[in-house]
Chain A
Amino acid sequence: MKIRSLAAGVSAALLAAALTACSHGGNDGATGADDAGVTLTYWASNQGASLDNDKQVLTPELDKFTQQTGIKIKLEVVPWSNLTNNTLSAAVSGQGPDVLNIGNTNAVTFQSTGAFYPFDDAALQQVGGKDRFVASAFATAGTSGKPPTSLPLYSQVYALYYNKKLFADAGLQPPATWEDLVSDAQKLTDPAQKQYGIVIPGGTVNASMHFTFIFSEQHGGAAFDKDGKPTFTSAGMISGVKQYVDLLGKYHVVNPSAAQYTDASQSAGDFARGKAAMFMAQTSGINVLAQNGMTADQYGIAPIPAPAGGDKISSFVAGTNISIFKNTKHLSAALKFVKFMTSDAEQQILNKAYTTQPAVKGAPAAFTDDQQKLAVFTKILSDYSKPLPLISAIQAFQANVGGAVVALIGKAATGAAISDADVKAALDQAQQKMGTN
Chain B
Amino acid sequence: MAVTLPGRRTRSPAPRTGGAGEPRPRRPRITWARATPYLLIVPAIAFELLVHVVPMVVGGYLSLIRLTQFFLTDWSRAPFAGLGNYRVALNFSGPLGSQLARSFGLTLGFTVLVVGLSFLFGICAALVLQRFVRGRGLLRTLFLVPYALPAYAGIITWKFMLQRDNGLLNELLVNDLHLVKDPPFWLIGGNAFASLVVVSVWQQWPFAFLMTMAGMQVIPEELYQAAAIDGAGTWQQVRHITLRMMRPVNAVLLLLLFLWTFREFNTPYVLFGPTPPDSADLLTVHIYASSFITWNFGLGSAMSVLLMLFLIVVAGLWGLWHRRVSRDA
Contacts and interface: CB of A to CB of B under 8 A. Distances in A.
A433 B58 contact: no
A373 to B, nearest CB: 30
A173 interface: no
A168 interface: no
A109 interface: yes
B60 A112 contact: no
A110 B72 CA distance: 10
Interface in A245-301: 255-257, 259-260, 262
A10 B294 contact: no
A219 B119 CA distance: 55
B70 A262 contact: no
Contact of B295 (A17, A260, A262, A396): A396
Nearest to A404: B275
Interface stretch (B35-43, B107-115, B182-190): B182-190
A150 interface: no
B164 A436 contact: no
Interface stretch (B88-96, B173-181, B314-322): B88-96
Interface residues of A, number: 52
Most buried by A among B56, B190, B275, B277: B275
A402 B275 CA distance: 9
A238 interface: no
Contacts of B88: 436
A433 B290 contact: yes
A24 interface: yes
B164 A257 contact: yes
A9 B63 CA distance: 14
Contacts of B185: 256-257, 259-260, 413-414
A257 B293 contact: no
B274 A205 contact: yes
Interface in B265-293: 272-275, 277-278, 289-290, 293
Given A5-B53, A205-B273, A395 B72 contact: no
Contacts of A16: 58, 75
B296 A396 contact: yes
Contact of A20 (B56, B74, B272, B293): B74
Nearest to B88: A436
Interface in B52-66: 53-54, 56-58, 60-61
A122 interface: no
B73 A10 contact: no
A94 interface: yes
A260 to B, nearest CB: 5
Interface residues of B, number: 41
Contact of B54 (A8, A194, A256, A257): A8
Contacts of B250: none
B189 A410 contact: yes
Of listed B70, B74, B75, residue having the most chain A CB within 10 A: B74
B48 to A, nearest CB: 10
A8 B46 CA distance: 13
A13 interface: yes
Given A414-B189, A433-B96, A433-B290, A395 B73 contact: no
A436 B275 contact: no
Given A9-B57, A400-B294, A205 B73 contact: no
Nearest to A202: B188
Contacts of A12: 54, 57-58
Nearest to B187: A260
A399 B293 contact: yes
Given A17-B74, A402-B275, 15 more contacts: A8-B49, A12-B57, A13-B61, A16-B58, A110-B69, A113-B72, A115-B72, A393-B294, A395-B293, A407-B277, A410-B188, A410-B189, A414-B189, A433-B290, A437-B294
7 closest A-B pairs (Cβ-Cβ)?
Answer: A9-B57, A396-B294, A414-B189, A17-B76, A262-B273, A257-B164, A410-B188
